Amino acid sequence: MITKKSVSRRRPIAVGNWKMHKTVAESAAAARRLSRLLSGIRRLEVVIAPSCTALQSVGATLKGTRLRLAAQNLHWENEGAFTGEVSPVQLKEVGCRYVLIGHSERRRLFGETDNVAGRKVSSALRQGLNVIFCIGETLEQRRADQTAAVVREQLEKGLADVTGGSSDRIAIAYEPVWAIGTGQTAAALQISGAHEMIRRQLTEIFGPDSSEAIRVLYGGSVTSDNIAELAGIKNLDGVLVGGASLQTDGFAAIVKILDKMKRQDEKEGSEKCIFC
Ligand code: PGA
């Protein structure tokens, strides 16, 4: 039976990562349309992460709406001689509430290590930003049965300086590298198994109370066709959507399905709890 305890009180979240796509004008137009399409969404938190050049205009577009702005990366210092980098202070100034850290493309293509990701996480939290910390194994690591060890190391190093008090500002995005941009979504069983393991590891790192607040999302080829199946995974607190978030109406459909299913879960959970 579902009890009140087994129904998550964590607010579900959907994040659209636009990566290096869309001009400033296209980004602002998409943000305007999304905020219209999703004006009825109350329970789900919706976050969009445009390119750096579009942050300011999308931030202005989202002002006064329920949608939140995220950056895709940041530098850990607030200012300095770091050509090409953007600081947490600068991100906050244009309206960012969230930042993605440790995305596999940053790790794989730009040499971002767990330790670098860890410095970014603590800097972002210090500056009051919420963090979406991305982790996940490669196909070789999964085949070699190393998923648990890889994820554990990413969590331990990436969250090394995080104290229990700021854990409610962290979300973990479990994104198996082999599922990102490949059209090969992880199976529901693989996702729920990985989420269970991540939740266990978070409990060991932060203790049961602080870890309870941390949301664990799934990312990797999420689309409007597979969202209903993914949303049925009980320990999934949300999704990080890349390619499919570029289609505004498709992303809105993903958000609506997830919101509806999560509200349904909560309703069933509290109804059943009357008798438990
Ligand atoms: P995808 O990307 O949805 O295109 O697989 C996910 C991500 O990179 O976060």
pLDDT band at 9 (very low <50, low <70, confident <90, very high): confident
**12 CB within 6 A, ligand 1:** no
Active-site residue, selected from the candidate residues 45, 103, 112, 195: 103
Query: Ligand 1, residues 13, 15, 17, 47: which to mutate, most atoms within 8 A of Cβ?
Result: 17
**240 CB within 6 A, ligand 1:** yes
3-class DSSP state of 77: coil
- In 56-164, the DSSP E strands lie at 68-71, 96-101, 130-135
Give me the residue spans of the domains in the chain. Answer: 2-275
pTM for the model stands at 0.93
**219 CB within 6 A, ligand 1:** yes
Phi-psi map region of 72: left, alpha, beta (phi>0 left; psi -120 to 50 alpha)? alpha
Summarize pLDDT for 26-48 with one digit per residue, the tens: 999 999 999 999 999 989 999 99
Q: How far, in Å, CA of 235 to CA of 209, rounded?
A: 17
Question: Could you tell me the sign of the dihedral formed by the alpha carbons of 216, 135, 210, 15, in that order?
Answer: negative
**In the prediction, which pLDDT does 144 show?**
96
Active-site residue, 212 included: no
CATH code that applies to domain 2-275: 3.20.20.70
Name the DSSP letter for residue 125: H
